[in-house]
Amino acid sequence: MTPNAIADNFHTTRQAVSKHLRILTECEIVKQEHKGREIFYSLEMDKMKEIDKWLEQFKTVWESRFNQLDDVLVTIKTRKDENQSAS
């Protein structure tokens, strides 16, 4: 897609999209292809798979922490309900 086509999908300026695309290109997450005066961008799927693999190592930790947070919120709600019933 061109930067304009990408920007049309977001509530942001073409300049902001171009800045992000520049960074993604530097990180080799997207690649540029010049066709005439237009520049087209596409995802580098191998790089995306590499990022997904890297993020996977944190998934267990995040899930565990979210479960702990759920337990804390249930405990707080239960105590609040018990205090309101006692009043």
Question: What is the 3-state secondary structure of 34-64?
Answer: EECCEEEEEECHHHHHHHHHHHHHHHHHHHH
Strands 38-43, 30-35: pairing is: antiparallel
Q: Are residues 71 and 84 in the same domain?
A: yes
Q: Which domain holds residue 20?
A: 3-43
> Cβ distance 13 to 27 under 8 Å?
no
Matching residue, tokens 């790089």: 47
| pLDDT mean across residues, the chain | 93
Q: Work out the average pLDDT over 38-64.
A: 94
Q: Work out the average pLDDT over 40-64.
A: 94
- 14-37 pLDDT, tens digit per residue, is 899 999 999 999 999 999 999 999
Q: Are residues 58 and 70 in the same domain?
A: yes
Residue 52 has pLDDT above 80, yes or no: yes
> Cβ distance 60 to 67 under 8 Å?
no
Count CB-CB contacts under 10 A for residue 55. 10
Phi, psi torsion values for 37, nearest 5 degrees: -90, -5
What integer pLDDT is reported at residue 70 of this predicted model? 95
What integer pLDDT is reported at residue 67 of this predicted model? 94
Share of the chain above pLDDT 70, in %: 99
The domain total for the chain is 2
Q: Are residues 30 and 15 in the same domain?
A: yes
